[in-house]
Structure 1
Amino acid sequence: MNIVAKTKRFANSVLFNLRVHGFADRKYLREVMLPAMAETKPSNVMLAGTRRYNTGYPKLFNQQTTAVWTLDFDPRAARFGNGHLHRTCDIREMDRVFSGIRFDVVHINGLLGFGIDTDDDIKRMIEAVHRSLVAGGYMMLGWDADATVDPSENKTILARFEHKAFASLPARHRVVGMKGYDHVFDWFRQGEL
């Protein structure tokens, strides 16, 4: 690839990330959800899915009280993760990769319908997340209404989690009217197996 093509590709990437950064769901994440999570002073948080537009998310937490881990299945995304606390892995196998760590919160945004697509994918992800949480820990699922079915109606999820508010955040927050799709944030509290 020549220098002109590389420069154009980089510029398009930066523009895309700036556009995503300005979406209403991303503003809600940065300005409301992640600060509310940080206020609870969790010991370990997992932010699943790493891209340029969310590189600042770990900095919203007090680094003295909270270890903010990041993961992505794409090795190229590691540069946008949280340094030595980033792992390259499939979320469906996170319990093996993080076998000695238990999370207070596992934050999963944008994976349903974008890599976690089938009932088996969801089942494997939910089982791995459930095993990775502390007792009573929380999972947040952010999803596009046009890309996947409602996770609050998924029997696999409801067998292990209760749809429940987290701290000052509602169990469900919907961001509507975003250029043809709605983005939904759902909180689930771990239940017993």
Structure 2
Amino acid sequence: MRVHGFADRKYLREVMLPAMAEAKPSNVMLAGTRRYNTGYPKLFDQQATAVWTLDFDPRAARFGNGYLHRTCDIREIDRVFSGIRFDVVHINGLLGFGIDTDDDIKCMIEAVHRSLVHGGYMMLGWDADASPDPSENETILARFEHREFGHLPARHRVVGMEGYDHVFDWFCRLSE
């Protein structure tokens, strides 16, 4: 639970997720499920927003959002959720921690792009010491515009303890 107290998690809980909830999206995907983020779906109005969760690890399902949780790889989001289009796909901590290669990123981006509504948003949270800057990735830039989400900036950097630098980037889906 030490992760729960990190500055990036505080920003996520107190600023980012409430701003997402305020937008009242119909379908949100929170990718990556662990004990410290079990309360995140409760930040949304359950009558207005279906908050889906996913994780590739079957053991993480107990921390997901009940019947709205799926065990799968983010690179298969469009296949596993074939009948659902998301307004927001929130991906935090996967780049450099499972989505590591250019091919991994390309596959993930293409699947997320297909799973979003037109004008939907993808949020990438990443560690600057573990991953290249996604705002410079050609695959991402071909399908998304790096842009603010509501009142949240397109990029928010959290500098914490030594060697710990986390970045949140918002990308809006471009039409085909």
TM-score grouping bracket, smaller chain normalisation? over 0.9
Structure 2, gaps ≥5 residues long: none
Structure 1, gaps ≥5 residues long: 1-16
Larger fraction in helix: 1
Determine the structure 1 residue equivalent to 2:57.
74
Determine the structure 2 residue equivalent to 1:5.
none
Larger radius of gyration between Structure 1 and Structure 2: 1
Contact 1:43 1:66 in 2 (8 A): yes
Give the counterpart letter for 2:6 in structure 1.
F
Contact 1:174 1:185 in 2 (8 A): yes
Determine the structure 1 residue equivalent to 2:47.
64
Instruction: Measure, in 1, the Cα distance between the counterparts of 2:98 and 2:161.
Output: 21
Count of equivalent residues: 176
| Aligned pairs for 1:64-143 within 5 A | 64-143=47-126
Determine the structure 1 residue equivalent to 2:168.
185
Contact 2:84 2:115 in 1 (8 A): yes
Instruction: Measure, in 2, the Cα distance between the counterparts of 1:60 and 1:93.
Output: 26
Instruction: Measure, in 2, the Cα distance between the counterparts of 1:155 and 1:192.
Output: 16
Matching residue within 156, 181, 185 for 2:139: 156
**RMSD between aligned residues:** 0.6
The one of the two structures with greater contact order (alpha-carbon pairs below 8 A, sep at least 6) is 2
TM, length-normalised to structure 1:
0.90
Contact 2:95 2:131 in 1 (8 A): yes
| % same residue | 88
Instruction: Measure, in 2, the Cα distance between the counterparts of 1:34 and 1:169.
Output: 10
3-state SS in 1 of match to 2:160: strand
Give the counterpart letter for 1:58 in structure 2.
P
Determine the structure 2 residue equivalent to 1:172.
155
